[in-house]
């Protein structure tokens, strides 16, 4: 078969490779996958398989120095029959594990219409990627032909491919990335300016943007306005505790509140002073996700445990959603977390020891990454704070990664034990707070994480390296049938990240009720009881 004929049609070995990888893409991963993301994963893996098949055929032709006769039609019909029968069998298995996992997590099952949607999306993704790949190959051949005027044929062909690859990467990292980031920043800046009737401007001085505030309501950004508008009132806290409660303080600065991150952090501390935050019993420093979002459950739990005698402070560092900030804005998250904590800590440390509030830090997802930035280790956290709660940490969190890597022998990666749990404890649910049964003095650090959370377990190493969380004892919501497959598992977990919050509490990246238990262990109010924790869990679940 000539090169031009192969370019116009489909390679037989390429189709074989695509078929095998499509089947593998339907194997279990961490979360239930709907038709959209399953179609994307299957389409992308089909292209990888097709490329591998084409590469194998090209390698054989190169070694034998000749083309082979076209595959006869009976073999092609045989492949078609195997493809149909095998795909039906694999889809039956796919439906089985989807049903098992959805039942385990309490998620609704797939309808029959999911399968044609999945197939359509998969084919479209494959064809679009194939066209892009063929265009790149055609350009590389053209460049190779130009170079072939002065270089040997094989050298010019290789260099043509390298030149095109370098140019494409440069364009993606430069022109395309720059243009895309400009559009995204402009788009999400518009979203950041949106207001809602559900977030009225505060009428109390304990909130940023309210009476006497050093920052304007409009400058807080959408998530900042949501944060300062929410939270329990003194009346609600008093009804819960049976004692007089104070109005909690919530301080926030937005990207438009100051000219840079350092100035924003200084402004946040000045606003905290203005509101009387350093005179409260508990002072919480929160690092947000990309858009400036803070998990309301994490903030509310602190206020219930302190009976309102608390102050929470945070600041925005990006307009972009968390998943996009995770890719392109990690450095800003790190700078923001470090700048805010150091600014708060400088004032807190200058207070007489007997007048200092309990100083705690917290963050979720990318916020946990930023919140860790001010500390070199778990021991450093314990030395400079009265506790920390990091929810749904990312695999790039340096302190989390170091503690996980140095976990006690016999403890699994998905829920490690670090130094016999003396300072930091890794928790998937409330019972894990007593794991191990050993002394746990203040200051306490808690990492709340789920075995099925792709945000925590996604790394580029998944491409070609089997992770310990699939090699060792597995978490209760990771199916025994889940297997690591090179490239495929990486794509599956990448797709899982997009639906990580579309599962009930206790799975994926959804955290609510267990936050109550974690904060109760960290803050340990003297009159707090297990019954109080259970009532707070119900509030965080939205049951009260």
DSSP string, 176-220: IHHHHHHHHHHHHHHHHT---TTSPPP-STTBTTSTT-SS-SGGG
Secondary structure (H, E, C), 59-115: HHHHHHCCCCCCCCHHHHHHHHHHHHHHHHHHHHHHHHHHHHHHHHHCCCCCCCCHH
Return contacts of 326-331, CB within 8 angstroms, 24+ apart: 326/290, 326/365, 326/366, 326/394, 326/396, 328/181, 329/290, 330/366, 330/369, 330/396
Q: Using CA atoms, how far apart are residues 332 and 343, in angstroms rounded to an integer?
A: 16
Q: Using CA atoms, how far apart are residues 347 and 300, in angstroms rounded to an integer?
A: 24
Closest CA to 280 of 383, 393, 359, 195: 359
pTM: 0.87
Q: Using CA atoms, how far apart are residues 407 and 398, in angstroms rounded to an integer?
A: 14
pLDDT in tens, the chain (544 residues): 444 444 556 788 888 899 999 999 999 999 998 899 899 999 999 999 998 988 888 787 767 766 665 666 777 788 888 888 998 999 999 999 999 999 999 998 888 889 999 999 999 999 998 888 888 777 777 766 766 666 666 556 666 556 666 665 555 555 444 455 455 555 555 655 666 656 788 999 999 999 999 999 989 988 999 999 999 999 999 999 999 999 999 999 998 888 899 999 999 999 999 999 999 999 999 999 878 899 999 999 999 999 999 999 999 988 666 666 666 668 888 999 999 999 999 999 999 999 999 999 999 999 999 999 999 999 999 999 999 999 999 999 999 999 999 999 999 999 999 999 999 999 999 999 999 999 999 999 999 999 999 999 999 999 999 999 999 999 999 999 999 999 999 989 988 988 898 999 999 999 999 999 999 999 999 999 999 999 999 999 987 6
């Amino acid at each position: 078969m000539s090169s031009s004929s192969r370019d116009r049609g489909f390679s037989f070995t390429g189709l074989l490779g695509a078929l095998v990888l499509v089947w593998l893409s339907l194997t279990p991963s961490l979360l239930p996958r709907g038709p959209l993301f399953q179609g994307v994963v299957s389409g992308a893996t089909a292209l990888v398989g097709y490329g591998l098949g084409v590469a194998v055929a090209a390698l054989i032709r190169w070694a034998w120095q000749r083309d082979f006769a076209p595959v006869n039609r009976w073999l092609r019909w045989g492949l078609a029959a195997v493809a149909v029968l095998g795909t039906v069998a694999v889809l039956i298995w796919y439906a089985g594990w989807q049903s098992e996992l959805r039942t385990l997590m309490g998620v609704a099952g797939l309808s029959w219409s999911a399968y044609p949607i999945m197939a359509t999306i998969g084919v479209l993704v494959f064809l679009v990627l194939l066209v892009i790949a063929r265009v790149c190959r055609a350009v590389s051949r053209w460049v190779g032909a130009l170079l072939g005027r002065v270089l040997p044929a094989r050298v010019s062909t290789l260099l043509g491919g390298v030149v095109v690859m370098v140019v494409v990467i440069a364009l993606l990292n430069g022109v395309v990335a720059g243009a895309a980031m400009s559009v995204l920043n402009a788009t999400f800046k518009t979203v950041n300016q949106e207001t809602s009737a559900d977030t009225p401007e505060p009428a109390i001085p304990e909130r940023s943007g309210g009476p006497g505030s050093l920052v304007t309501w409009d400058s807080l950004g959408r998530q900042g306005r949501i944060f300062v508008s929410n939270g329990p009132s003194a009346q609600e806290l008093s009804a819960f505790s049976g004692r007089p409660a104070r109005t909690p303080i919530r301080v926030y600065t937005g990207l438009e509140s100051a000219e840079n991150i350092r100035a924003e952090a200084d402004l946040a501390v000045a606003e905290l002073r203005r509101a009387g935050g350093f005179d409260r019993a508990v002072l919480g420093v929160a690092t947000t996700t990309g858009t400036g979002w803070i998990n309301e459950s994490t903030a509310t739990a602190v206020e219930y445990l302190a009976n309102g005698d608390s102050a929470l402070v945070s600041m925005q560092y990006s307009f972009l959603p968390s998943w996009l900030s995770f890719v392109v804005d990690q450095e800003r998250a790190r700078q923001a977390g470090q700048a805010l904590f150091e600014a708060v800590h400088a004032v807190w440390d200058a207070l007489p020891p007997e007048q200092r509030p309990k100083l705690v830090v917290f963050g979720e997802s990318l916020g946990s990454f930023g919140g860790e930035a001010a500390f070199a280790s778990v021991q450093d956290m314990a030395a400079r704070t009265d506790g920390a709660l990091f929810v749904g940490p990312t695999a790039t969190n340096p302190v989390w990664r170091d503690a996980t890597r140095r976990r006690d022998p016999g403890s699994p990666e998905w829920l490690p034990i670090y130094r016999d749990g003396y300072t930091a404890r890794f928790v998937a649910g409330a019972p894990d707070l007593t794991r191990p049964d050993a002394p746990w003095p203040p200051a306490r650090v808690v990492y709340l994480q789920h075995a099925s959370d792709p945000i925590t377990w996604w790394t580029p190493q998944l491409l070609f390296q089997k992770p310990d969380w699939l090699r060792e004892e597995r978490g209760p919501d990771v199916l025994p049938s889940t297997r690591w497959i090179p490239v495929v598992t990486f794509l599956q977990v990448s797709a899982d990240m997009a639906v990580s919050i579309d599962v009930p509490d206790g799975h994926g990246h959804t955290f609510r009720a267990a936050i109550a238990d974690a904060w109760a262990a960290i803050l340990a109010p003297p009159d707090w009881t297990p019954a109080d924790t259970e009532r707070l869990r119900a509030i965080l679940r939205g049951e009260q």
